[in-house]
Amino acid sequence: MINLFPLARPFIHAIDPETAHNLTIKALKAGITGCLGRSEDDPILGTTVFGLDFKNPVGLAAGFDKNADAVSGCRKMGFGFTEAGTVTPKPQPGNDRPRLFRLSEDRAVINRFGFNNAGLEYFEKQLKALPKSSQPVGANVGANKDADDRTADYVTGIQKLYGLSDYFTVNISSPNTPGLRALQSKAALEDLVGRVLEARAEKIREGQAYIPILVKIAPDLQEEDITDIASIARDTEIDGLIVSNTTIERPESLKSLQKVEAGGLSGAPLMVPSTKVLSDVYRATGGDVPLIGVGGIASGADAFAKIKAGASLVQVYSMLVYEGPALVEKIKRELTVLLKNEGFKSVSDAVGANHR
């Protein structure tokens, strides 16, 4: 594979990060991925999770393609699946710029976008225009900042997009919409999950197919929050959890001056804390609930660490800023070697290996 990113990186990093990101989305929309040539995925990477088949377990995390503008281009980067969104029912501008910061010394990112997106109607059109593909696409739904009933916004997202994505993610863990993360508390989450599952049940009664629904949680949770979320996930028909979103913590180790910016931190410093929460959630759910591990993945070893901690699939975002699209092939190549070296027959064979 020929990787053009190292040549382009100094130019890309010389411009404001949000502008650079918007240019990347435009390039991907035009089919330009920055990498030429890609190998077939090794069969050891194939896996089936919540009833969906994945050629490899490495997905693109939400927030990269908020409006499902570039799903086809993202698929060409070699991801096993792509999650678009977060989309809210009404379009909204998000917070004032600047709202995206590179912490280059720390290989990290801080964002406080605040769900800037073009709304459900636009997102629906994009999904309808997508060619059929064996690479699943997820729709990550959220709530408008000014919504009176935020839970109703999640229900609206699922109703409107039902049948257009292979799975849904209910994102209740963005730190950039005031109060949103309170939906992770027991009573609020029980209500939300109940209403969202009823929306799906209604679609199924109307003759539509079963679409998995996942809940995405924050890394900044107390032990009792994890216990509550785990019991809700176990006792209801929620299909999985995504662990985790960005953190509001600022680890001591951060060196970049931008660490003072408000928002969610992601990238390398999130790897250890998000994997710890992932491991805790796996233990709390007894391994019964499929998990997607996300936060700070920069290598096959990081992806493998998440899988052994309990992830059935993984996702990446921030490290693409530093490594470019070739990161996807690198993670898959390294993961293949690690699985084989440790004698695992498949990804699913290694899920939760640390707990055995």
- Judged by CB, which is closer to ligand FMN: 62, or 335? 62
Q: Which residue has the tokens 């739904």?
A: 141
Q: How far is the CB of 171 from ligand FMN (least distance, A)?
A: 4
The C-alpha atoms of residue 172 and residue 151 are separated, in whole angstroms, by 10
Smallest gap from Cβ 181 to ligand FMN, in A, equals: 12
Question: Shortest gap between Cβ of 318 and ligand FMN (angstroms)?
Answer: 3
Token pair of 100 as six digits: 């995206």
Nearer to ligand FMN, 112 or 200 (CB): 112
Rounded to whole angstroms, the Cα distance separating 75 from 345 reads: 26
DSSP β-bridge partners for residue 291: 241
Nearer to ligand FMN, 216 or 308 (CB): 216
Strands (E) across the chain are located at: 2-3, 35-36, 47-49, 52-54, 58-60, 81-87, 100-103, 108-111, 137-141, 167-171, 213-217, 240-243, 264-267, 291-294, 313-316
Residues with Cβ < 8 Å from 254, sequence gap 6 or more? 103, 106, 108, 265, 269
Q: Whole-angstrom Cα distance, residue 291 to residue 240?
A: 6
- The residue among 214 and 350 lying less far from ligand FMN, judged by its C-beta, is 214
Shortest spacing between CB 314 and ligand FMN, in angstroms = 9
Residue in the shown chain whose Cβ atom is closest to ligand FMN: 63
Mind giving me the DSSP string for 193-235?
Answer: HHHHHHHHHHHHHTTPPP--EEEEE-S---HHHHHHHHHHHHH
Residue 56 φ/ψ, nearest 5 degrees: -150, 160
CB atoms < 10 A from the CB of 152, how many?
A: 14
Binding site for ligand FMN (CB under 6 A): 61-63, 66, 86, 100, 109, 111, 113, 140, 171, 174, 216, 245-246, 266-267, 270, 294-297, 316-319
The least CB distance from residue 169 to ligand FMN, in Å, is: 7
Q: Could you give the CA distance from residue 356 to residue 344 in angstroms, rounded to a whole number?
A: 14
CB of 230 or CB of 278, closer to ligand FMN: 278
231: annotated active-site residue: no
Q: Given the complex with ligand FMN, which of 269 and 344 has the nearer CB atom?
A: 269
CB of 96 to ligand FMN, least distance (A): 15
Catalytic residue among 72, 165, 173, 174: 174
CA distances 82 to 142, 165, 313, Å, are 17, 10, 12
Output the smallest distance, CB 86 to ligand FMN, in A.
Answer: 4
Nearer to ligand FMN, 174 or 285 (CB): 174
Strand, helix or coil for residue 340: helix
List, by residue number, the catalytic residues: 174
